[in-house]
Amino acid sequence: MGRERAQRESWGTRFGFLMAAAGSAVGLGNIWRFPYLTGENGGSAFIIIYLICIAIVGLSIMIAEFAVGRRTSLSAVGAYKSQNRSWTFAGVLGVISGFFIMGFYPVVGGWSLAYMLKSVTGLLALPEATADVFGAFISAPIEPLIWTIIFMALNIAIVAKGVAGGIEKASKVLMPTLFVLLIIIIFEGVSLSGSGAGLTYLFKPDWSQVTGETVLAALGQSFFTLSLGMGCMLTYGSYLSKKENIPVSALAIVVMDTAVAIMSGLAIFPALFAFGMEPATGPGLVFVVVPAIFAQMGNVGPVISLLFFAALTVAALTSSMSLLEVVVAYLIDEKEMDRKHATYLSSLVITIMCVFSSLSMGQMSGIKLFGVGFFDFFDILTDKIFLAIGGMLLTIFVGWFMKKEDLKNELTNDGTVAFGFFEVWYNLVKYVIPVVIAVVAVMGIAAVEQRNLMLFGLFMIILLGVFSKKL
Ligand code: PHE
């Protein structure tokens, strides 16, 4: 196998690893998806459930993924396979999730790139028209496709360069920029008159809106936003040095990710209420509300808007790189391809999927798979089912198929660093989390609109499981 031939790549520095892992976590999930999910699910109550999912399930699974990755020094499929062949399917499910997320993610990345240019070419001239502008843009046949392709080209250029030279180097500059920009936007939004209602919406829970679907949405989002349940953090862990403190790193990444999500909420909702817009606007939310804020800012508006969409693009890029890396690492480790060929081949397939997703917003909106268009097909299948089930499989694998001693050694660097919560973590992973995910999944699937799509997803997973040894 490839791993015996060549020395495995690794991160250059601790800061570089943290920025790359945080870069993977912080992405469209935080700035684009978190606000609109909050808007669709009634605000504060959703946020509270989401925070509980992050603290209990998300953090534990991130620690588990890093531990498995570093212990095996292999990417998703190889890591499972090396321990137990019957588990190969869980790794393959991860690679499929990565592929499917990449089937729509770069489309949104392309929108963001396009909005950089639009910021300075008249988008902000008519604040009341931002919704129409967005609708017309994403449903056009050619323009969004061109931007998606440019976005993919950036991914290819970085991932082909490898772990330390590409992914790590880019993340170290791009991530801090994002933080600064968000802070500027929050100040602008909160200072608008009428913004107080947005703060109430964000921080005062209305529990009457909560259903099984809300909880599944919050759980799915906690996986998506932390890049969990598909072997991404596992793969990043496989490039991690034995000296790194896994629990502390995981905590730092979770805190950064959560901070950006809450900051995005603060950037959007106060302004949204100040402008009298609707919270449940769906996927167009950032692209509609944020430009409207900038339009109020006079001459500096276009510049700040350009910077904001640049930061969003960057956040999207550091995440999509990591998604692409899961697929690429699989081809390198398991199919013995070299990095460049693996990157080109997977990107070609991904770009074709994105063409369908993008066209499903307009030209091809009539074509439905299980009642939804291509974009939603990839999005719902991964976010609402594959990631959560992938996370559940990982916890079962770690809790029941790995040795407790090995895990303890991995998480304490052979006893050289302390991990006081080891027992708590272990019991959560072994008993609590698998049950919680199973219950939420059943409740959620029962409540969700696209039930056939969900059942199809479950069927795919079962099929993979049955043929696991052949994979
Ligand atoms: N965490 C990323 C985001 O929030 C998306 C992602 C999911 C990246 C899964 C890698 C793996 O945008």
Q: What is the pLDDT of residues 63-109, one digit of tens each?
A: 999 999 999 999 899 999 998 999 999 999 999 999 999 999 999 99
Task: Name the least confident of 77-86, 108-117, 228-237, 286-295.
Answer: 286-295
Ligand 1 centroid from CA 319, angstroms: 5
Asked if residue 319 has its Cβ within 6 Å of ligand 1, the reply is yes
Q: In this structure, which long-range contacts are made by residues 243-246, counting pairs with CB atoms below 8 Å and at least 24 apart in sequence?
A: 243/413, 244/14, 244/17, 244/70, 244/413, 245/413, 245/417, 246/63, 246/66, 246/67, 246/70, 246/410, 246/411
Q: What are phi and psi of 401, to 5 degrees?
A: -120, -5
- Other C-beta atoms within 10 Å of 366: how many? 7
pLDDT band at 213, cuts 50/70/90? confident
- Other C-beta atoms within 10 Å of 7: how many? 6
**Atom in ligand 1 nearest the alpha carbon of residue 28:** 12
Asked if residue 106 has its Cβ within 6 Å of ligand 1, the reply is no
User: If 0-12 CB within 10 Å is exposed, 13-18 middle and 19+ buried, where does residue 370 land?
Assistant: middle
Q: Tokens 């890029």 label which residue?
A: 317
DSSP lists the bridge partners of residue 372 as 369
User: If 0-12 CB within 10 Å is exposed, 13-18 middle and 19+ buried, where does residue 51 land?
Assistant: middle
Are the CB atoms for 324 and 130 separated by under 8 Å? no
pLDDT at residue 179, rounded to an integer = 83
Helix-strand-coil percent breakdown of the chain, rounded to 5?
Answer: 80, 0, 20
Asked if residue 25 has its Cβ within 6 Å of ligand 1, the reply is yes
Q: Which residue has the higher pLDDT, 123 or 368?
A: 368
Q: Which residue has the higher pLDDT, 460 or 308?
A: 460
Which tens digit of pLDDT belongs to each residue from 366-411? 999 999 999 999 999 999 899 999 999 999 999 999 999 999 999 9
pLDDT above 90 as % of the chain: 66
**Atom in ligand 1 nearest the alpha carbon of residue 27:** 12
Both tokens of 425, joined, read 């973590």
pLDDT at residue 166, rounded to an integer = 67
Asked if residue 286 has its Cβ within 6 Å of ligand 1, the reply is no
pLDDT at residue 170, rounded to an integer = 67
pLDDT at residue 449, rounded to an integer = 85
Ligand 1 centroid from CA 124, angstroms: 29
What mean pLDDT comes out for the span 161-177? 72
Ligand 1 centroid from CA 73, angstroms: 21
Ligand 1 centroid from CA 290, angstroms: 22
* Domain 2-470 -> CATH class: mainly alpha
pLDDT at residue 4, rounded to an integer = 42
pLDDT at 158 over 50: yes
